[in-house]
Amino acid sequence: MKKRIFPTISAAAFAIFAAHALYFFIERAERLCSKIVVNPVDGQYYVTSEFVGVTHEAIPSIIVAALIAITFIVLIVRVIRPALIFGIIGCIMSAICCGIFLFSDLHFEIYMMFRYVYGVSLSRLPLEAELSVVGGFKLLLVLLVMAAEVITFVTILASVGRRKTLFDILKGKKLSVFGASMCTYDGYSNNTEHNPTIGENKQYYGNAESENVKCRDLSVNETFWGILLEKYGMELCVNNSWSGSKILDDNPAAAGWNTRPTELHRPDGREPDLIVSFMGNNDFTKERPAGEVTDDLFNRVTAKDFVPATFAEGYAVMLHKVTARYPEAKLFLFNMAWRTEEKSELLIKYNEIIEKCAAHYGAYIVRLTESRMSRLDYAKYTCDGKLHPNAEGMAIWAELIEDAFKKCYIK
């Protein structure tokens, strides 16, 4: 709203200018396109004006009138979208219109306007005073427009200068990762220096004992979170990921709904500014019951001793604990991609639950369902031929998270 205040004032000032300038130039064009005709009627002669068509003399006035009208439209567009490009175009066009108006010979038109539109007669004034009034009126309109344009252009230029890039916004921020195997990396998601509660977490990527060479040899800088850390100068706060973990896990330490959502900060007190989470894929593989996002769900999950029985309950209590423990952090949640041609009804249900829970807790969705890793193309972006992203797949994930970052930070 604030960005539109000065463009609106400028458009209003130009509207006053345009109302008068258009009157002058249209009046002049109409006069140059007409001829005086004397008609005798009943022995008396009547002088009338008759349109004879567009003359060469009238073309400049018509062009100027059209330019003024187009400039006003540009200024209206600038009110709707106060971007730098419209600021520059509007300022230039306004200056051209004002210059033409100021240096045009409009003495007679202004005189007639004062006399017949405003009802003010200048004929009683001395010639010098009359000319001063006419010239002063022209100058006043020009100054009104140019003052408004200068202020508007400066404010637009200043707002553009203050606009930060995504790198400027994210640089130095602390990122925590919370997920299952696709978010792990040996030496990071089991690093007790970052958080002593994550030492027993099982690893998938970077694991020297893994039989899958392609996944094992993927470097940490090729993971989606490693790409983002390097590209935007962020700091890894905690990676609390656990290979094979589920939200409704039989192992309480691995369960996504239990204590892990509150273990995303460091022992020295450093807390995440951003949290990226991908949980639920293993619940889907094990066909945990989806459940429903009912009207009372988000109240029930706040109970101290609440134990979820469905994916909906588990996902809701997980987000409740994350947002309660880290209220200032921005939360980004993966939905789940199609990995086969056939769309699973259970996966559709899971993604609906993720969408509804994210909306309730103010989280942003990272949409795997809208990526080129969906359905039949999924396998070629994996290092095991079925599930875990390879370097190219990780890069796609990073791009999707960037899209979510932009929606969050770039207004």
pLDDT per residue of the chain (411 residues) written in tens, 0 to 9:
556 788 888 889 999 999 988 988 998 888 888 877 767 766 666 666 777 788 888 899 999 999 999 999 999 988 887 777 888 888 899 999 999 988 888 877 887 777 767 777 766 677 677 778 878 888 898 999 899 888 888 877 776 655 578 898 999 999 999 999 999 999 999 999 889 989 889 999 988 777 677 777 889 999 999 999 999 999 999 999 999 999 999 999 999 999 999 999 999 999 999 999 999 999 999 999 999 999 899 999 999 889 999 999 999 999 999 999 999 999 999 998 876 655 688 999 999 999 999 999 999 999 988 887 766 678 888 888 778 999 999 999 999 999 999 999 886
Residue 290's φ and ψ, nearest 5 degrees, are: -70, -45
Residue-level pLDDT at 42: 66
The two tokens of residue 58 are 């009238």
Q: Determine the CATH number of domain 166-409.
A: 3.40.50.1110
Q: What is the CA radius of gyration of the chain?
A: 35
Domain residues of the chain, as ranges? 2-162, 166-409
Cβ–Cβ < 8 Å for 304, 382:
no
Left, alpha or beta for 213 (phi > 0: left; psi -120 to 50: alpha)?
A: alpha
Give the C-alpha distances (Å, rounded to integers) separating 336 from 8, 9, 274, 333, 387.
Answer: 45, 49, 20, 10, 11
> What's this model's pTM, rounded to 2 decimal places?
0.64
Cα–Cα distance for residue pair 139/117, rounded to 1 Å: 19
Residue-level pLDDT at 160: 63
Residue-level pLDDT at 138: 85
With a CB cutoff of 8 Å and minimum separation 6, the contacts of 315 are 247, 257, 279, 280, 353, 354, 357
Residue-level pLDDT at 400: 94
Q: Is 74 helix (H, G, I), strand (E, B) or coil?
A: helix
Q: Which long-range contacts (CB under 8 A, 24 or more apart) does 186-191 make?
A: 187/220, 188/220, 188/236, 188/239, 189/239, 189/240, 189/241, 189/242, 191/239
Cα–Cα distance for residue pair 389/385, rounded to 1 Å: 9
Cβ–Cβ < 8 Å for 246, 190:
no
**Beta pairing, strands 44-51 & 34-41:** antiparallel
Residue-level pLDDT at 340: 64
